Structure 1
Amino acid sequence: MSSTKYILGCFDDPDLMLDGISKLQKNSVPIYDVYTPMPIHGIEAKLGVKESRLGYAAFCFGCLGATVIFSIVYYTLVHDWPMNIGGKPNFAMPNFVPFTFEWTILFTAFGMVLTFFFATHLFPGRAPRVMDLRATDDRFVIAISAKGNTPHDDITRLLKEAGAVEIKHNERKYVSYE
């Protein structure tokens, strides 16, 4: 059994890489991921990437922040320490709006930062890992899991036909910067 975990096809041109993706998909070769030095519009649809659920997470963090501060302010101003200021009622809704708005934004911002770190595994202090170091500079890389049923020679042939400049067989999961 081979110790190869990923087969990497390096391309010079994004159009050639998109053609390579099409050829691999026509031959039912599952693509693990694609790494590019710049955004390529429409590649998510071509790879079948699902729509992000980050909006739902942001909404939940905002609701949590609004609920927390509304509860704290309500408890403080209505139950714990009610004050009669100019005959106004203790539970005056306009007084609660600025605090609630600010804490909604605060919880959403911090919650989204934590969600980003959790989802991408890019915690502070952790060395970033990439498949090929040139994917951050000038190469477009298609990573294919070598554990599939397709023979490695067929995948290599398809990548060469698509215009791959270089084809690598990675034995490790990632190449580290260290």
Structure 2
Amino acid sequence: MSSTKYILGLFADPDEMMHGIDLLQKNSVPIYDVFTPMPIHGIEKKLGIKDSRLGFAAFMFGCLGGTTIFSIAYYMLVHDWPMNIGGKPAFAIPDFVPITFEWTVLFTAFGMTLTFFFATHLFPGRTPRVMDLRATDDRFVIAIDAKGNTPHDDITKILKEAGAVEVKHNDRKYVSYE
């Protein structure tokens, strides 16, 4: 068995890459990932990628922030240190709205930043995961997991038929920038 981990099909044109995805799926070859230098409309649907759940996470972080500060403010201003200011009641909801809104936005922003870094593995200081460095410049790359897959020659033939400029057999998981 070869040491090849991934077979990379490099395309010069996004339309040829989309045609390559169609041919690979038609031949039941599972695609590991696709790397492009720019966003391509409709590629998520073609690859079967589900919609992001980041909106749900944002809502949860907002609820956490709003509940946290409302609870803190209520405890401090009503139970711990109630003050009679101008005869107003200690628990006046309009007084709590600005700080509750601000903490909701704050928790959502920080929570979404951390969630995004966690979900995409883009922590600061981490080496970016790139199969081929040209995918960040001018090439469109289809990566296929070579372990336990269709014979490599058949995959190479399908990629060449689809219009791949180059087909590489990669023995490393990712290319490092160093």
Q: How does 1:98-177 map to 2 (within 5 A)?
A: 98-177=98-177
Q: Look up the match of 2:90.
A: 90
Which residue type is aligned with residue 23 of structure 2?
A: K
C-alpha deviations, 1:15-53, integer Å up to 9, x for none? 000000000000000000100000000000000000100
Task: State percent identity of aligned pairs.
Answer: 84
Q: Look up the match of 1:20.
A: 20
SS state of the match for residue 149, structure 2? coil
Question: 2: distance between equivalents of 1:148 and 1:134?
Answer: 27
Question: 1: distance between equivalents of 2:140 and 2:91?
Answer: 60
| Number of positions where the alignment pairs a residue of Structure 1 with one of Structure 2 | 178
SS state of the match for residue 168, structure 1? strand
Shift of 1:137: 0.1
Shift of 1:120: 1.2
- The more displaced of 123-132 and 52-61 is 123-132
Q: Runs ≥4 in structure 1, deviation > 2 angstroms?
A: none
C-alpha deviations, 1:84-119, integer Å up to 9, x for none? 011111100000000000000000000000001111
| Unmatched segments (≥5 aa) in structure 2 | none
| Unmatched segments (≥5 aa) in structure 1 | none
Question: 1: distance between equivalents of 2:51 and 2:128?
Answer: 25
SS state of the match for residue 130, structure 1? coil
Shift of 1:10: 0.1
Question: 2: distance between equivalents of 1:64 and 1:142?
Answer: 40
Question: 2: distance between equivalents of 1:28 and 1:3?
Answer: 22
Q: Look up the match of 2:67.
A: 67
Question: 2: distance between equivalents of 1:42 and 1:97?
Answer: 42
Shift of 1:142: 0.2
Question: 1: distance between equivalents of 2:46 and 2:123?
Answer: 29
Q: Scaled by the length of structure 1, what TM-score is found? A: 0.98
Question: 1: distance between equivalents of 2:63 and 2:139?
Answer: 42
Contact 1:129 1:177 in 2 (8 A): no
Which residue type is aligned with residue 172 of structure 1?
A: R
SS state of the match for residue 28, structure 2? coil
C-alpha deviations, 1:34-88, integer Å up to 9, x for none? 0000000000000000010001100110000001100100000000110001111
The reply to whether residue 39 of structure 1 matches residue 36 of structure 2 is no
Question: 2: distance between equivalents of 1:38 and 1:102?
Answer: 35
Question: 2: distance between equivalents of 1:97 and 1:27?
Answer: 58
Shift of 1:8: 0.2
Q: Look up the match of 2:3.
A: 3
SS state of the match for residue 10, structure 1? strand
Shift of 1:158: 0.1
Q: Scaled by the length of structure 2, what TM-score is found? A: 0.98
